[in-house]
Amino acid sequence: MSKRARKIRSFAGALLLGVSGFALLHNYAESRADEFNNTQVIVNDKKMSLENFYCNLDYNNGGWQYIGDDGKAISVDSLCDGGYRERLKIDNQKCSALKVKVDTIFLSYSNDKKGKREVIYTIDGKSTSRIPKLGYNLRNEVGIRHFVSDNSDLAEKFEFCNEEYFCTFSHELRHFHNRDICGWNSYEIKYMECCLDEISAELAQALEKVKRYNTHDGDEKYLGGRYSFLDEGIKDGTIRSSGRFDKGEEKYIADKMFNWWLEKMYAIYDSINNERTIHFLESAPYKEVRPNWKKHEKLVSEWFKIDGYDFWPYIKKREKEIFDKISAERRTEYKRLTNEKFNNLTYFEKLEELKNIKREHYQQKIMKDYATAQLIRFMRLNKKSGGKN
């Protein structure tokens, strides 16, 4: 390109950038020079600065092209395609067999000379004063705890924590079926999904309690101890005590469970679900942490199809209540984590993001960066020649 052509192109680009006057042009070029020199791009395995890339760009046949040293043209659109590898974090393998483990926990009272006694839980020879989880689920294993004691008072007190009455297995089995929760989405949506996973497990547990209540001729020991709304609903006739529930009863159970979980369990699981959210999305690329509501619904709707019932239509209408409870501080942190992933993208990956959002902005970005590179190059050559260009 001739000196005159380069000068004309540089000043034409300056008009595009909204900069006029030689002093302003010089300052603008100086302010962007380091960025365009330090930002590296790779074209056909050849690494170059952003300035060199744009100074070898040309607009031809309705599109931007990079002209290589061999004179061959490469479409910029093609450089911005396939910037991401489709990766799945979901480990959704079918387990050959689900293992169920029952841990026996022995209960006793501590020996306190001041007369204060606390419950001691002993499992596998190790003792603690902290009550253990009643159940857990791993990749292909569901574990439940069974409490026993030589002390009749303790044995009776913890009777309702055992599988017979508490239905822990149904709860943990639902979590096992929901194991695709580790799929990627935005931080806010993933946090909400972690909460919905818990509500889904509680619904499975509640339905099992009703089943056992029915098979034991209405023995209230099988119904009480956790969900008071079930006992109340049966007593006042809102839900039937036996047989299949109708749509109205489905809605009653879904709404009452949602209310119960927000009131009783949300605060308990808030920090836990935040930690799960960050863990699940730790290796997710930027593209996968942008909100995808269609993907969310496809995933979560299956979690609420339990024992022949479909609770999703009722939960879907209320899930935003969880979304809206995310604090401003946590949203700020989620935004920081998202921006961090964006900043880790290569230049072409960032261009691809822009192209996918709005092609017009993508074209404008290329034009502005092209003009900036030309201006930086012109100012550098002009400085070397003492202003004779």
| Domain spans, the chain | 3-83+346-384, 166-341
Residue 141 · residue 98 · CB < 8 Å: yes
Q: Check residue 96 and give its pLDDT.
A: 46
Q: Check residue 81 and give its pLDDT.
A: 63
Q: What are phi and psi of 373, to 5 degrees?
A: -60, -40
Token digits for 338? 């998202």
**CA-to-CA distance for 369 and 367, rounded, in angstroms?**
6
**CA-to-CA distance for 98 and 95, rounded, in angstroms?**
6
**CA-to-CA distance for 311 and 306, rounded, in angstroms?**
8
Tens of pLDDT along the chain (389 residues)? 444 444 445 544 554 555 555 566 667 677 878 887 888 888 877 888 888 888 888 877 777 888 888 888 888 887 776 543 333 333 333 444 678 888 899 999 887 666 678 899 998 889 998 888 888 877 778 888 899 998 888 888 888 888 888 889 999 999 988 988 889 999 999 999 999 999 999 999 999 999 998 888 888 888 877 898 998 998 898 988 778 899 999 999 999 999 999 999 999 999 999 999 999 999 898 989 999 999 999 999 999 999 999 999 999 999 999 999 999 999 999 999 999 998 888 888 888 877 877 777 788 888 888 888 887 887 777 776 665 55
Cα dihedral 50, 51, 53, 55 in deg (nearest 10): 160
Task: Record the pTM.
Answer: 0.74
SS (H, E, C) the chain: CCHHHHHHHHHHHHHHHCCCCHHHHHHHHHHHHHHHHHCEEEECCEEEEHHHHHCCEEEECCEEEEECCCCCEEEHHHHCCCCCCCCCCCCCCCCCCCEEEEEEEEEEECCCCCCCCCEEEEECCEEECCCCCCEEECCCEEEEEEEEECCHHHHHHCHHHCHHHHCHHHHHHHHHHCHHHHCCCCHHHHHHHHHHHHHHHHHHHHHHHHHHHHHCCCCHHHCCCCCHHHHHHHHCCCCCCCCCCCHHHHHHHHHHHHHHHHHHCHHHHHHHHHHHHHHHCCCCCHHHHCCCHHHHHHHHHHHHEECCEECHHHHHCCCHHHHHCCCHHHHHHHHHHHHHHHHCCCHHHHHHHHHHHCHHHHHHHHHHHHHHHHHHHHHHHHHHCCCCC
In a 13 Å sphere around the CA of 191, the CA atoms on its Cβ side amount to 23
**CA-to-CA distance for 338 and 288, rounded, in angstroms?**
10
Closest CA to 389 of 12, 7, 15: 7
**CA-to-CA distance for 245 and 310, rounded, in angstroms?**
11
End-to-end CA distance of the chain: 13
